[in-house]
A and B are shown apart, each in its own frame.
Chain A
Amino acid sequence: MLKLILAQAMLGLNNGVFYAMLSLGLAVIFGLLNVVNFAHGALYMTGAFLALILYSYLGVWIGIEDLHINFWAALIIVPILIGALGILIERTMLRWLYRFDPIYSLLLTFGITLVLQGLFVNFFSASGTPYPGQPESLRGVVDLGFMIFPKYRLFAIGFSIVICLAVWFIIERTRIGAMLRAGTENPDLVKAFGINVPLMVTLTFGFGTGLAGLAGVLAAPIYSVGPLMGADLIIIIFAVVVIGGMGSIMGAVVSGFALGLVEGITKVFYAPAANTVIFFLMVVVLLVRPAGLFGRQS
């Protein structure tokens, strides 16, 4: 039994990787822009597809059959591309909505989600395509004592923890992070001090979406790459940030990993509830602490 719990906990932690990375990006964006980016899941999906395209399709498309841009390269290229896409979205669309109620930017990014999903459904199988580019060095399994665990998944957990800590460090301990935090509190005053807040907003959105792209690449070898992989995930992410407290960076990360664990362990005791346990926890948090576990009570 204990072995089973530990095993499911590891698998849950593995999902938690993506909950944490996605809610982190969502929280960073929300903090400065006051925008809930519904397209975050779709950009994660696009990131996974870009990794797949770089490995399996690009070579065929441009006539160099042997070209397979590998996982490690994708880990660098894809976040940059997705970040650039985010910057494009911010500059051409999102920016015109800051004056209005934030629900409009939620609706805009919802529309973008439909467009991205629709496009990938058209060009790729809706049921998903496996990503064949998992690096040689991460194939195989590790014996954890209580279970045999794929090496790659262990890498994904470690890698995402490093990324989350790095983002936390940048935001809490560097000058850029101080500018970001100040901008979150009082953007007008930060602007009056001579800091280019509109540029900061654009780059922050690019950074947050880039994180979603990174999570997408990381997910490609684990889940099969499909147009709907981000669709239901984004709603779980919403629940994660409501539980963690929207403003908090650390809250997003900790709740992400923790809720992945909870979900995994639920599978052991009552599998059908695994899909909904996070939402029920959200209900409990709303009843007990409406501002979220790490949120400031307003």
Chain B
Amino acid sequence: MNDTTSEVAEFADTDMQKSDTRGRVAQGVLFVILTAAVLVAPFFLYPVFVMQLLCFALFALAFNLLIGFTGLLSFGHAAFFGGAAYFAGHMIKVWGFPPLLGILLAAMAAGVLGLVIGSLAIRRQGIYFAMITLALAQIVYFFALQLPFTGGENGLQGIPRGRLLGVIDLNDPLAMYYFVAAIFMAGFLIIYRIIHSPFGQVLQAVRENEPRALSLGYNVDRFKLIAFVMSATLAGLAGATKALVFQFASLTDAHWQMSGEVILMTLLGGMGTIFGPIVGAVTIVTLQHELSSIGSWVQVVIGAIFVVAVLLFRRGIIGELARVLRLPSL
């Protein structure tokens, strides 16, 4: 794929390409802050809550790979997030797989699901793509509701955390925390790597100008599909990890409202930014946590944030920050 880089660079987002030194420094600073925060967070906050943040942040990062860097709006990502939770839960609880293997296999299963849904959805573009992913994800939701081994309305409960590599007892909160933190950081770095690879440059070229990418001879559909599968796999990684954290795979994680929430997290943080999805996920999850006392008003608040973000704030928090600081990309 290396020989294509120069051609792509020609028309890929030039801001992205020539990200000046200031931009790199800023990214470096944010990365150090992120790493430090992830390392020390469990000493200041309730570890399960931080783990929840990390799982949703990874979910949003995976989603952003698709909307932010490929320009495809999937309205069905809950299928991968929630689906992988069920896969992992079943493998670990019923088949007795060790936790890491269960999570990785569940992520791969989500990737296969992504291959199926993705290859159908990329047959249509734009708004249709969104509607089709939504409808296909609904099939996954009904499977989660109706299949004999999913626990129906109650979800799949009592998933044992087990021992990592047979040694580390994950029932210890801190051990579990750093396991999740490691998965999150690995996911973040993988996504960062993808975005900055020649493959990622082609994806952005597709987003910027699909006909042009086509005319340069790229098999646009294949690039889209690969991006979709990667995004689904990583979303599955996040969902499987969440299932292990809460020892529970729930129907909520597979519902379309979850697909909507991950869109909101990404939009609010900044689509197409590197750190935005993390900021968006932290904001939304914290908000839901803090507002849980007002019951279903939370949904009204979330909906209202959605409306405001779409109308007035399409660049998102990090996108606006980058604009104010005149930085190319954060």
Binding site for B on A (CB under 8 A): 34, 36, 93, 96-97, 100-104, 106-108, 110-119, 121-122, 126, 232, 235, 238-239, 241-242, 246, 272, 275-276, 279-280, 282-283, 286-287, 290
Contacts and interface: CB of A to CB of B under 8 A. Distances in A.
Contact of A115 (B256, B260, B300): B300
7 contacts: A104-B314, A107-B267, A110-B306, A111-B310, A238-B131, A287-B120, A287-B123
Contacts, number: 119
Contact of A108 (B75, B301, B311): B311
Interface stretch (B7-15, B132-140, B280-288): B132-140
Given A110-B260, A114-B260, A282 B310 contact: no
B41 interface: no
Contact of B307 (A101, A108, A238): A108
A115 B307 contact: yes
A90 to B, nearest CB: 13
A97 B127 CA distance: 14
Contacts of B300: 114-115, 118-119, 122
Contacts of A122: 295-297, 300
Given A93-B311, A110-B260, A235-B256, A242 B132 contact: yes
A234 B40 CA distance: 44
Contacts of B310: 97, 104, 107-108, 111
Contacts of A115: 299-300, 303-304, 307
Contacts of B120: 283, 286-287
Contact of B298 (A106, A112, A118): A118
Interface in B91-148: 120, 123-124, 126-128, 130-132, 134-136, 138-139, 142-143, 146
A282 B135 CA distance: 8
B73 interface: yes
Nearest to A101: B126
Task: Please indicate which of the listed interface residues B131, B136, B260 has the most CB atoms of chain A within 10 Å of its own CB.
Answer: B131
Contacts of B73: 103, 106
Contacts of B138: 232, 235, 239, 276, 279
Interface string B72-96: 0101000000000000000000000
B interface bracket (residues with beta carbon within 8 Å of A): 35 or more
Contact of A112 (B124, B264, B303, B314): B303
A241 B130 CA distance: 13
Task: Please indicate which of the listed interface residues A107, A115, A232, A276 has the most CB atoms of chain B within 10 Å of its own CB.
Answer: A107
Contacts of B143: 276
A34 B126 CA distance: 11
Contact of B128 (A101, A242, A279): A242
B131 A242 contact: yes
Given A104-B310, A238-B131, A276-B139, 7 more contacts: A100-B314, A102-B126, A115-B299, A117-B303, A118-B296, A118-B298, A282-B136
B302 interface: yes
B51 to A, nearest CB: 26
A280 B104 CA distance: 29
A47 B273 CA distance: 40
A104 B132 CA distance: 17
Contact of A118 (B142, B267, B299, B307): B299
Contact of B299 (A102, A121, A238): A121
A86 to B, nearest CB: 15
A134 to B, nearest CB: 29
A238 to B, nearest CB: 4
B263 interface: yes
Given A107-B267, A242-B135, A114 B306 contact: yes
Nearest to B260: A110
B299 A106 contact: no
A121 B135 contact: no
Contacts of A113: 303
B128 A246 contact: yes
A217 B310 CA distance: 31
